Amino acid sequence: MTEPARWPARGDAAMTNALLPIGRAMILAAGLGKRMRPITTTTPKPLVRVGGRALIDHAIDRFVDAGVAEVIVNVHYLPDLVETHLGRRKAPAITVSDERTRLLETGGGIKKALPLLGDQPFFVGNSDSLWIEGPRSNVRRLGRAWDPEQMDVLLLLASTATSIGYDGLGDFAMDTAGRLVRRGERLVVPFVYAGVAIVKPALFAETPDGPFSLNLVFDRALERGRLHGLRLDGQWLHVGTPDAVRLAEDVIANSNR
């Protein structure tokens, strides 16, 4: 079995987990990016540049800024390009979970990487999770809101109505205690999943060995009343198509004026 590629943090850039009780994160970067074509014909979606930087760097830096010391990244489509890009970073410590031979979807990819993630709760983030930060780090807010006695999963949620580039009906409604319920058929709900969560690894027990969606894990927590949410403080940018990239570029440029 081939050892996973690793890039340790170096020198003064090495991070400690002083700010949060959660030290590891997984970034999902193995998708095909079909909706982003033709850009993704030659560039994997995690390396699409928005605001002058690759999407995956935006995602990794959110975790670094919050004190996360280790990041696992899965790869499948144009994996050599993603690995080369990650190898140029000085921090954090990055380990690649290789899915070259088989795309495992979001849930299956995390399950394959569990030996790297350990037995404690971890962050998971989509490689294209992008937002304009409010006055406080949303990853730190998520970590500080985490209550393992009450929660199995904690999702970062954005406003369905005000998110940029999103025209869907939302994913969840939330009660006053932060517990979530899924959107019913033909209904509009206030919140959409913003692509970042905290998850307990035990939820992956008795899940399929092959590809499956992370929604299976979310629904297990929901059935127990242990799927919770935290509203994003800032502006979520849904970057799913070439048009959405251009829109996000405009929003970021305006926010920096």
| Element containing residue 215 per DSSP (H, E) | helix 215-223
The rounded distance, in Å, linking the Cα atoms of 192 and 171 is 5
pLDDT bracket for residue 257 (50, 70, 90): low
Rounded CA separation 122/153 (Å): 10
Please report which confidence band the pLDDT of residue 149 belongs to, taking 50, 70 and 90 as the band edges. very high
Q: Give CA–CA dist 156/138, Å, rounded.
A: 8
d(CA 202, CA 176): 26
Please tell me the predicted confidence (pLDDT) of residue 143.
95
Reduced to 3 states (helix: H, G, I; strand: E, B; else coil), residue 80 is helix
pLDDT in tens, 119-136: 999 999 999 999 999 999
Instruction: Read off the tokens for 37.
Output: 């074509």
**DSSP letter at 179?**
B
Has this prediction a pTM greater than 0.75? yes
Give the chain's domains with CATH numbers.
Answer: 6-255 (3.90.550.10)
Q: Flag whether pLDDT at 45 surpasses 50.
A: yes
Cα–Cα distance between 231 and 194 in angstroms, integer? 9
Q: What is the pLDDT of residue 9?
A: 40
